[in-house]
Structure 1
Amino acid sequence: MARNLQFRYTVAIGAVIVIVTVILATLFFFQSKELLSNIKTTTTSTMSTALHDEAKKRLVNLSAILSEDLSNPLYNFDMLAILQLLQSVAKLEDIAHVMVIDPKGVIVHDGTELLDSYGKQLEEREILDWIEKQSAPLLINSEELMEIVSPVHIADERLGWVRIALFKKAQLENTQKLTQQLSNLTAESQQRERYLLYLVTTVLLLLGLGLAALVSNRLVSPIRKLTEYVKRVGEGAYGIELDRNRSDEIGQLIHSFNRMSRDLSNTSVSRQYLNDVLNNLCDALIVVSDDMKILMVNNAATEMIGFDKQRLESMSYYDLIDSRDGVRVKRWLSRLLEQQIESIDARYITAAGSHVLVSLSGAYLDLSGAPGQIITVAQDVSERRKNEEHIRYLAQYDGLTNLPNRQLFRDRLKHAMKQAERGEYLIALMFIDLDRFKKVNDSLGHQAGDLLLKETAVRLKKLLRLGDTVARLGGDEFTIIAEQIKSINDGINIASTILETVKEPFEIDTRKVHIGCSIGIVFYPFASDDIGSLVQKADMAMYQAKRNGRGQYCVYNHMLGANENGVIQQESELMEALKTKSFHLLYQPVVDTSTGATVGMEALLRWDNPRRGILDPTEFLPFLENSGFIIELGDWILERACREMLDYSKSSDSPLQLNVNVSMHQFNQGDFSHRVESILNKTGFDPKRLELEITESSLIEDIEMSRNVVRSLKKLGIRIAVDDFGTGYSSFSYLRDFTLDTLKLDTSFIKGLPNDNYAIGICTALIKMAEIMQLNVVAEGVENQQQVAWLHSENVDQCQGYYFGEPAVLGD
């Protein structure tokens, strides 16, 4: 009976052991397989999502910064500034393309210097429909690219859109690499677990056979309890153990079960597997407990911070955080504990005492029946932030002079206006335009022009008081915001100092360069101006200073606004006249003082204004010179005069000399002599019959260049006359330096003859000097016989003026 019971128990216990072992092995195998699969899927998905979110966040931030930075260049259509901004983004290694499009979907700039796609219409209907109807950014995801199309605004006006595309190749490669690593490690882990299962199964079977030989009441209860615990392990309660209070086979079975349970707890996902995964991450991963003690770090964390793993795992997470970021990081960790996932920027303190700027992301891991943990991932963004700061700097500062640009100028002006409204002070807004800068740029080259702008910026910054702003708006235009001005005289004194400072010679490439500036000033708050009207008034005042003769300042008053409307209308009419050539020439005779015979004609320009009638050049010449149109019109005058004089000579007894006035802007063009030669060849006019009248200021603007131009003109046989001598610099030295032919006495000296002793003294001195230098002398503005008699007595060669005839059409 006992033998049968023992046999039955032996068979039953053996069967139970086998069944339990198979069940346990099966449960363990499938549970482990499922767990590893879930870990693989979850890890891959988490990292893929993190990489995608980081790329999206970066793309959104980059587009926001670039959209803001592009507003001013796009508003002013500053293609160079747009190119600089786009290329600063395009050089980032994962940027596919970046471009600027207008509100209708036409490409304004594609980020290349050659503008290959400029003016092309976008073909993507989704983008076209979006920019037509929406004002928010559009995010587009494809297999290879992530794109964003963001609006560019200035104030409430939408100027266009910026389109940035980011390659997803790196993201996909990282995800695939991680997935492959996880697959390999999972396969290795499963292989190790199978070997372990074989071993455990064998041990359990041997122990079961031994235990089956023992038939006692003690056998049933432990087995029943063991069975219960096995079920719990099958349900995932790894790590549970039975009390071992006996040393027989049951005790050994309990010991084996406990060891298996511990092994399952430790090897359900192997530590080596986790270490391989974590240490292959490029970002610093730190696992912390809910009381912020560091539990685990990967290799990237030790490399970033500089401490070894043992040191880090003995520290608090707060020990790594810079004190300036401590409060923000604590709030961030609190939100993670509440399952709120977000990212922040903070600074880690390294072992060397320096700081590393990182982007922190994390998640809270809720462990059933155990304290939760926080997984933090830190990505070093120091270089990226530097690039973003550089882009932001380029958007607010002029790249050449490092002065605030138009956008930052407007921001500071707005702030200064608010301060002036609250206080008892004025602000003075000054618009500064450099005089003769274009000549330096054209004659010495753009590199010299850039150096001149830099030196000017340095001088202006040295003049500023604390709190004042000097900005460059573009070209040779600067602005100054002088704050806390107690009186208008204080502002005028600042302007006067600027005029004197800029007037001092500049040393550019071992050459002394002389320029000046014109300044427009407007004070605030004297009227309810906004930024736009204040800037416009300063601009008006600056242009009035130029009209007044340059090298001076002009304070805005309400009359300037009224006059400006008339000036704008006249300039518009003049532009139309240039297109239609609504000009004609009159001629005033030049008479031999001794014989009274006409020896030449001076060509004088007149404008047939449809509103005001015939206008003298003094009415419109300043605009032509400032705009540069005097070059084109000057060529037209010379060619027209040559042709009309040739036609007139056919009916004349003797050929007459032709005198033509030359503007300083014409004369200072490097190719002026070639242009004159081309016109003479084109018309067939004899160069020996042509005399060009040049003012003193034109000659001494750049003496070296003037000497070369005069020499070239003389080689052609052309005569050179100095017009209005005595009214300008009146330097005898330059008369000696140049091979001149004629000296013309200005009308202001002639009108006092023969009774004004001062006029007599000036004219006598000039005539004697010209006689010594063997120069022909021509008196302008002669109006009566007494003047002719006195000039004849002083051996003046030729005269012209209303006494001999008013300017008239040739042949009348």
Structure 2
Amino acid sequence: IAERCHEKIVGYDFSRLGIREPLRISAGLASARVDDIDDLQNLQWKADVAMYRAKRPGHANVVMFTEALARDSEGLFSSWVNTAVYDAVVYGKGLLMHYQPIVELDSGRICHYEALVRIEQDGEVIMPSNIFPVVEARRLEVELDRAVLRRVLADLRGGKVQLGTGVSINLSGPSVVHDQVCTWFEDFKPLLKDYRVMIEVTETALITQIGLANENLTRLQRLGFEIALDDFGSGYSSVRYLASMPVDAVKFDISLVHGLQDDTQRVMVTHLAQMILEAGHQLVAEGIEDVATLEAAKAAGFSRGQGYLLGRPAEHAKRAKVVFDNVAVFPSDRRA
């Protein structure tokens, strides 16, 4: 059945729906004995593990769960992590935010703190690299986004973030096109007098429903929220999406920013940055981890930057400024 579904989807002409990007289907299959309660309770987890493997490059589109597959996925997709992520997303148990500064490169002033999700369970901290595979496999993107919004709102009200700065919150594709997304931000509106609130979306989140996404983002922008296109340059159609989106800021992907160290790439990235600046957007360079990258980003025209050189993610976000003379060089570690 799964193979037939795959054949039907692959053979369908999605350009009829206005979708011109290539689509791919991934399916995870699992079976259970009806007389084994434990086996039945783990059925969804097994299917999730199989689907995650199917989504990885170089693997079949349809994957059947095996015990060997479970062993290979241990640590990344363990039942313990699976349960902890579900409890955090659905019940808020152990969900917490770390905040990483986004800095104005000319003055060192912190304009926003990006809210990055963590889950603390039994003394262990689960990082995004282990959280998001579970969230995506179990289709919990909307639930996670709403849980994050509640947590960030509580942190702002609790004074964890420096007054006069702002927060930047990531939204998934399913949330961006959700018909209630604007109402989720209603409780943030009274705080806009003290904080700037930016909403980050990626181009991959917009592929299938760009029209509806733009409608929702435009409404949020009119309510006083800023919009940023995240990971710009990581896909193949960034400029096309940027031209049609209500965007205030553009965050260049780490791969482009690090390309500033190469002579050929530096010319291309600099021209691209200048073009976007002339269109009226703020530019943010992600992945600034050493002084050379910082100087290259400033020379290319980036007005803002983010990375371990400028500040690591932390539970409290109480700084208003980064003093460049005191920044330290951190080893490369890009786990958000």
Deviation at 1:555, TM superposition (A): 5.3
Deviation at 1:568, TM superposition (A): 3.3
Specify the alignment match of 1:805 in structure 2: 311
Specify the alignment match of 1:553 in structure 2: 61
Specify the alignment match of 1:244 in structure 2: none
Counterpart of 2:182 (choices 661, 673, 677) is 673
Specify the alignment match of 1:597 in structure 2: 109
Alpha carbons 2:49, 2:73 under 8 Å: kept: no
3-state secondary structure, aligned to 1:803:
coil
Q: Match of 2:295, as an amino acid?
A: A
CA deviation string 1:747-806 (max 9, x = no partner): 12223432x235414421320221121110000110111111111122211011000111
Deviation at 1:630, TM superposition (A): 2.9
Specify the alignment match of 2:93 in structure 1: 581
CA distance 1:590–1:607, change in 2 (3 Å): same
How well do the aligned residues superpose, as a CA RMSD in angstroms? 3.3
Alpha carbons 1:520, 1:555 under 8 Å: kept: yes
Deviation at 1:729, TM superposition (A): 3.1
Counterpart of 2:302 (choices 796, 802, 806) is 796
**Distance in 2 of aligned mates of 1:550 and 1:709:** 35
Alpha carbons 1:499, 1:551 under 8 Å: kept: no
Specify the alignment match of 1:627 in structure 2: 138
Question: What's the TM-score, normalizing by structure 1?
Answer: 0.34
Deviation at 1:572, TM superposition (A): 2.3
Unaligned stretches of 5+ residues in structure 1: 1-429, 433-459, 461-477, 479-494, 523-531
**Distance in 2 of aligned mates of 1:639 and 1:671:** 15
Alpha carbons 1:521, 1:553 under 8 Å: kept: no
**Structure of higher CA gyration radius:** 1
Specify the alignment match of 1:656 in structure 2: 165
Specify the alignment match of 2:250 in structure 1: 743
Question: Structure 1 residue 431 and structure 2 residue 2: aligned?
Answer: yes
CA deviation string 1:631-662 (max 9, x = no partner): 23312322322342354389x5x600211111
CA distance 1:513–1:764, change in 2 (3 Å): closer
Deviation at 1:596, TM superposition (A): 1.8
CA distance 1:587–1:541, change in 2 (3 Å): closer
CA distance 1:594–1:792, change in 2 (3 Å): same
Within 5 A, what are the aligned runs for 1:258-407? none
**Distance in 1 of aligned mates of 2:104 and 2:19:** 42
**Distance in 2 of aligned mates of 1:560 and 1:693:** 34
3-state secondary structure, aligned to 1:560:
helix
Alpha carbons 1:586, 1:809 under 8 Å: kept: yes
Alpha carbons 1:547, 1:622 under 8 Å: kept: no
3-state secondary structure, aligned to 1:717:
coil
Question: Structure 1 residue 760 and structure 2 residue 269: aligned?
Answer: no
Alpha carbons 1:721, 1:744 under 8 Å: kept: yes
Q: Match of 2:86, as an amino acid?
A: M
**Distance in 1 of aligned mates of 2:142 and 2:25:** 22
Within 5 A, what are the aligned runs for 1:214-229? none
CA distance 1:541–1:580, change in 2 (3 Å): closer
Within 5 A, what are the aligned runs for 1:173-192? none
Question: What's the TM-score, normalizing by structure 2?
Answer: 0.76
**Distance in 1 of aligned mates of 2:273 and 2:60:** 34
Q: Match of 2:165, as an amino acid?
A: L
Deviation at 1:517, TM superposition (A): 1.4
3-state secondary structure, aligned to 2:237:
coil
Deviation at 1:540, TM superposition (A): 6.8
3-state secondary structure, aligned to 1:614:
strand
CA deviation string 1:290-333 (max 9, x = no partner): xxxxxxxxxxxxxxxxxxxxxxxxxxxxxxxxxxxxxxxxxxxx
- Percent identical among aligned pairs is 23
Specify the alignment match of 1:488 in structure 2: none
Within 5 A, what are the aligned runs for 1:224-235? none
Unaligned stretches of 5+ residues in structure 2: 31-39, 319-336
Alpha carbons 2:26, 2:55 under 8 Å: kept: no
Q: Which one has more relative contact order, counting CA pairs under 8 Å at least 6 apart? A: 2
Within 5 A, what are the aligned runs for 1:563-578? 563=72, 567-577=78-88, 578=90
Task: Give the total of aligned pairs.
Answer: 299
Deviation at 1:542, TM superposition (A): 4.7
CA deviation string 1:108-140 (max 9, x = no partner): xxxxxxxxxxxxxxxxxxxxxxxxxxxxxxxxx
Alpha carbons 2:82, 2:134 under 8 Å: kept: yes
